[in-house]
Amino acid sequence: SNLLAPPHSFVAMRACSIGLSLAYACCLAIVTLIGFSAITTGIVLLIEGDHYGDTAEDLNPRVDFSMLPESCIIEDVIHAYREEEDGYGYHCYDDYSYIFSYQGCQYRSRQNEALRYDGLCRESQPRIPLFVVGEEVPCWQPNVRPVAAQYNCGNDMCYKIFDPQNEVAIAEDTGDAMEAAGISSLVCGILCCFCCSPAVWCVGQKKQHS
């Protein structure tokens, strides 16, 4: 009966071959899943970015908003900073928002972000805020409701200390950025599905036959 039993080396090689097959199958599934996820994300970003940018182009801030008869007063300056890493290095951003008052009521502005430094935040000083406490600034109020999301209201009344005309330009840039990110994600997904996945499959086949 011992003569009919397969050698231990053969059993070990067979087990190793099965293990490699499972490993390459898992790798193939993961790469394919990442590819399809990237493709889906890219399509969504392309559609949303195109819609967001096109809607911004159709807005008319001179009609949608009018300047309030009295100035607003800056009551407080809220500052935060953050670091982002994009594969090439760190980037430091300053985020400012402002508490302002109008006719005795206080409101908060939208967040205004700006690149401070291409590097770590501790290596640089914060940017100077656009407004200071006690400053009187022009304000705008909406003439239509609901207010389009592209105007980026910071409060329920959508009183603004930032010119709505600039908000439209920012929204158009945001739409373009979303479309660019969508294209990048779509390309990466296609490469994963149609280049990386077949490469993983081919390597697995070669390993099985070697």
* pLDDT tens-place string over residues 108-127: 999 999 999 999 999 999 99
Query: Residues 6 or more apart from 161 whose CB is under 8 A from it?
Result: 72, 74, 98, 100, 109, 131, 137, 138, 139
Q: Which whole-number Å values give the CA distances from 3 to 8, 12, 13, 158, in the listed order?
A: 12, 18, 19, 87
Query: What integer pLDDT is reported at residue 59 of this predicted model?
Result: 83
Q: Which one is predicted more confidently, 9 or 70? A: 70
Beta strand 136-137 with 112-117 is unpaired
**Percentage of residues in the chain having pLDDT higher than 90:** 41
**Percentage of residues in the chain having pLDDT higher than 70:** 70
Least confident span in 23-37, 80-94, 99-113: 23-37
- Are the CB atoms for 106 and 99 separated by under 8 Å? yes
State the greatest distance between any 2 C-alpha atoms of the chain, in Å, as a whole number. Answer: 103
Query: What integer pLDDT is reported at residue 104 of this predicted model?
Result: 92
Q: Which one is predicted more confidently, 39 or 3? A: 39
Confidence of residue 149 (pLDDT cuts 50, 70, 90): confident
Tens digit of each residue's pLDDT (9 = 90 or more) over 152-187: 899 999 999 999 988 877 767 676 677 777 777 777
Confidence of residue 1 (pLDDT cuts 50, 70, 90): very low
Which residue is associated with the tokens 């009966």?
1
47-60 average pLDDT score: 70
The CA dihedral of 165, 167, 173, 177, to the nearest 10 degrees, is: -170
